[in-house]
């Protein structure tokens, strides 16, 4: 309910008239397009003039920002509507028709893809990871296991098919019988395969260190050439909507535990501390410019959202109530009576 000023003495009547006039003036400022534009420009310029002298460290402390960051990144429960909403949005994006209408090459053309791919391959971290994989004993073990399984599978499958020999040719029958005869010697064969494959794998991996980058690049380029004309939604061949739901659940479960670790807290504090170390003495207006937020952006967003918001507030009667609630207490106060010289003294 709108605040009002009750009473019949001259000061009260003056206060009521002034309150009505000020509310009307304030509403005109935000409801008239020209007046509101002038108001936004004036306030933005005043804000930038103030923040051109006020630094980040003067406005807030690093401890205040760290406390806020910890509240929302660590303490705020990730429960209820948040995971559900993220899952629903992910599912809606997954089903969006744009996935079927837009091709992959419409997002990244061949030239940019090759530039990104080459740049990624030339990163030192990429090359170190490739070397780490190629030099790892685990890689050699994997090569050995693949070959051993291939030998074992070949022998056992041939022996098992011996029962169907009557339906096959002479060559198949001979191969099957030989496999059955060799089967008891599998442990010895596997041992020899292990030695040969292990030494061969080390030789091959060492010999291909310098060509691995180019081989990976060419493989990626070939994949791009084959799939760049596919719709973006071709990823659905690999990831189902059920998979997407599982991924969202896993991501939230990971985040729920990771954000509560000392490591995450330390990294969060360190990141905030770096911002203050670098920008603590920087005026806020300059910091906004560093972030890409200019005067024109502030004015544009003010004019984008302000008129529609104030219009709906006025339509529902909230705007008049808001201004009266904020202004009426002053006109009923001793300060106002002192200002107009009507305060009663004992």
DSSP 314-339: HHTTHHHHHHHHHHHHHHTSHHHHHH
The verdict on residue 245 lying in a domain is no
Residues 66 and 132 in one domain: no
In a domain, 148, yes or no: yes
Report helix angle 137-160 to 124-135, nearest 10: 50
d(C-alpha 284, C-alpha 58), whole Å: 10
Residues 145 and 174 in one domain: yes
pLDDT of residue 266: 96
* pLDDT for the residue numbered 19: 95
Are residues 63 and 276 in contact, defined by beta-carbon separation less than 8 angstroms? no
Q: Which residue has the tokens 């599912």?
A: 91
- Nearest alpha carbon to residue 23 among 42, 1, 4, 43: 4
Same domain (yes/no): 158, 209: yes
Of 230, 264, 298, the position where a domain reaches its end is 230
Residue at 237 is within a domain:
no
Residues 124, 172, single domain; the answer is: yes
**With 60 as the cut, is the pLDDT of residue 238 above it?**
yes
Residue 183 pLDDT exceeds 90: no
Statement to judge: residues 162 and 84 lie in one domain? no
Whether residue 61 is found in the same domain as residue 126? no
- Residue 146: inside a domain: yes
Tens digits of residue pLDDT in 184-220: 443 443 444 455 455 555 545 555 555 666 767 777 8
125 and 184 assigned to the same domain: yes
Instruction: Domain of residue 143: give its range.
Output: 104-230
Q: Which residues pair with 103 in a beta bridge?
A: 231
3-state secondary structure of 195: helix
Q: Is 225 found in the same domain as 126?
A: yes
Count of the separate structural domains present in the chain: 2
Is residue 75 domain-resident? yes
Question: Residues in the chain, how many?
Answer: 346
When pLDDT is cut at 50, 70 and 90, the band that residue 148 belongs to is low
Looking at the structure, do residues 163 and 83 belong to the same domain, yes or no? Answer: no
The answer to whether residue 236 is domain-embedded is: no
If asked whether residues 111 and 181 sit together in one domain, one would say yes
pTM of the model: 0.69
pLDDT for residue 181 is more than 50 = no
pLDDT range class, residue 345, cuts 50, 70, 90: low
Do the domain assignments include residue 254? Answer: yes
Would you say residue 98 lies in a domain? no
Choose between 28 and 211: higher pLDDT.
28
């Amino acid at each position: 309910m709108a605040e009002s000023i009750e009473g019949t003495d001259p000061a009260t009547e003056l206060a009521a008239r002034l309150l009505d006039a000020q509310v009307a003036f304030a509403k005109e400022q935000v409801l008239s397009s020209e007046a509101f534009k002038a108001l936004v420009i004036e306030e933005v310029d005043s804000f930038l003039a103030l923040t051109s002298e006020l630094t980040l460290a003067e406005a807030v402390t690093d401890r205040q920002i760290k406390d806020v960051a910890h509240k929302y990144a660590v303490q705020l429960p990730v429960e209820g509507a948040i995971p559900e909403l993220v899952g629903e949005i992910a599912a809606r994006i997954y089903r969006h028709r744009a996935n079927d209408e837009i091709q992959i090459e419409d997002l990244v053309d061949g030239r940019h893809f090759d530039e990104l791919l080459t740049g990624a391959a030339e990163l030192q971290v990429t090359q170190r990871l490739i070397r780490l994989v190629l030099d790892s004993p685990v890689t050699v073990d994997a090569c050995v296991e693949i070959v051993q399984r291939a030998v074992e599978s070949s022998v056992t499958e041939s022996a098992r098919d011996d029962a169907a020999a009557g339906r096959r040719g002479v060559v198949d029958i001979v191969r099957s019988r030989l496999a059955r005869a060799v089967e008891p010697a599998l442990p010895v064969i596997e041992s020899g395969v292990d030695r040969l494959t292990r030494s061969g794998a080390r030789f091959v991996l060492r010999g291909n260190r310098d060509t691995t980058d180019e081989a990976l690049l060419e493989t990626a380029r070939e994949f791009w050439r084959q799939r760049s004309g596919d719709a973006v939604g071709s990823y659905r061949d690999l990831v189902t909507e059920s998979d997407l739901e599982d991924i969202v659940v896993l991501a939230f479960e990971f985040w729920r535990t990771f954000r509560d670790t000392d490591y995450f807290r330390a990294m969060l504090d360190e990141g905030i501390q770096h911002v203050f170390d670098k920008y603590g003495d920087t005026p806020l207006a300059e910091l906004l410019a560093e972030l890409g937020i200019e005067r024109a952006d502030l004015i544009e967003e003010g004019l984008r959202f302000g008129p529609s918001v104030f219009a709906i507030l006025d339509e529902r009667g909230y705007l008049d109530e808001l201004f009266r609630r904020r202004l009426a207490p002053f006109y009923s106060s001793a300060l106002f009576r002192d200002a107009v010289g009507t305060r009663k003294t004992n």
